[in-house]
Structure 1
Amino acid sequence: MADMDNPMTEIEEDTCWGYLASQEVGRLATAKDGKPEIFPINYCVDGQSIVFRTAGGSKLQELAENANVAFEVDGWTVDGGWSILIKGVAEEITNAAELALADKMPLKPWVPTVKRHYVRVTPDQLSGRSFYFGPEPKN
């Protein structure tokens, strides 16, 4: 974790997965017609990827048009925090064996809607940083 002498530090890739696994909610960034969209999603870590459920609406349509996404998760305490960023590709899971496994993940819809589509985000890049909260330096 960062400290007062070094208020921001990089997080090792293996440790990034631990931080990702410690949370359930993140933000998925997509682009439609060159314009960014951000969706809050609940997710699970599955190996070296994340999986989420969605309905057949705008997220799924945007991913079919442009599978390149960013995904971010943050956490904090009174003293500091961390942020993990994935840049990668999102693909709907269609393989029957993978769908059976995804169906066993603890992914329940937040709102009373049917979400039959599972999507896997596989990173091209994974980065993280931790930071210490404190006052702005005088110099």
Structure 2
Amino acid sequence: MAPESSEQPALEELDRAECLRLIAPGGVGRVAYDDGEGPAVVPVNYTVDGESVLFRTSVSGRLNRSLLSAVTGGQVRAAFEVDHFDEGSRTGWSVLLRGGAHRLSDDERDKAVRVDPWPGGEREAWFRLAALEISGRRLLGT
């Protein structure tokens, strides 16, 4: 028998400040983009810089090729998602940033907050996703 709705965890919308607070420690998030063959989602290590996230990938990888803009200084539409859930208590949160991603120039990279990727190998393509929209939800336990 399904639990009564009053026993179900409550879902609350998060404001921009709370979303940024939750993702501020950095860690692992997912970049969503169109790779030319359709939607793609890739996990990356990230750090937060203001209302932007920074991440690195390999120069030869699909993510780098897909996010490069043909226009100098241009941006590619992308999204970035971070979440944390506890399946036992059925609680957690999810934050979504949507905006434009661009590859950092050498000068921007030298001034950027450090991003330390977990996987080995070269990760010399640095990106900034500047959030135009930030939204999030939290699932509260009963």
Q: TM-score range by the shorter chain?
A: 0.7 to 0.9
> Are the aligned partners of 1:54 and 1:116 in contact in 2 as well (CA < 8 Å)?
yes
Q: Which residue of 1 aligns with 2:10?
A: 7
> Are the aligned partners of 1:4 and 1:132 in contact in 2 as well (CA < 8 Å)?
no
> Are the aligned partners of 2:9 and 2:90 in contact in 1 as well (CA < 8 Å)?
no
Q: In percent, how many aligned pairs have the same letter?
A: 30
Matches of residues 100-139 of structure 1 in structure 2 within 5 Å? Answer: 100-102=110-112, 105=114, 107-133=115-141
For structure 2, list consecutive stretches of 5 or more residues without a partner in the other structure.
1-5, 70-74
**CA deviation after TM superposition for structure 1 residue 50, in Å:** 0.4
**CA deviation after TM superposition for structure 1 residue 5, in Å:** 7.9
Provide the aligned length of Structure 1 versus Structure 2: 129
TM-score w.r.t. the length of structure 1 is 0.82
Q: Which residue of 1 aligns with 2:101?
A: 90
What is the distance in 2 between the residues matched to 1:11 and 1:4? 21
**CA deviation after TM superposition for structure 1 residue 123, in Å:** 1.1
Cα RMSD of the aligned pairs, angstroms, is 2.2
**CA deviation after TM superposition for structure 1 residue 44, in Å:** 0.2
What do the CA deviations read for 1:106-136 (whole angstroms, capped 9, x no partner)?
Answer: x2232221111210001121101111356xx
What is the distance in 2 between the residues matched to 1:40 and 1:117? 15
- SS for the counterpart of 1:43 is strand
User: Which letter does structure 1 place at the counterpart of 2:51?
Assistant: Q
Counterpart check, 1:64 vs 2:61: no
What do the CA deviations read for 1:3-62 (whole angstroms, capped 9, x no partner)?
Answer: 968711110101110111134101111102250111000000001100011111210110
For structure 1, list consecutive stretches of 5 or more residues without a partner in the other structure.
135-139
What is the distance in 1 between the residues matched to 2:23 and 2:41? 18
What is the distance in 1 between the residues matched to 2:15 and 2:134? 9
TM-score w.r.t. the length of structure 2 is 0.81
What is the distance in 2 between the residues matched to 1:83 and 1:17? 11
**CA deviation after TM superposition for structure 1 residue 95, in Å:** 5.1
Moved more, 69-78 or 12-21: 69-78
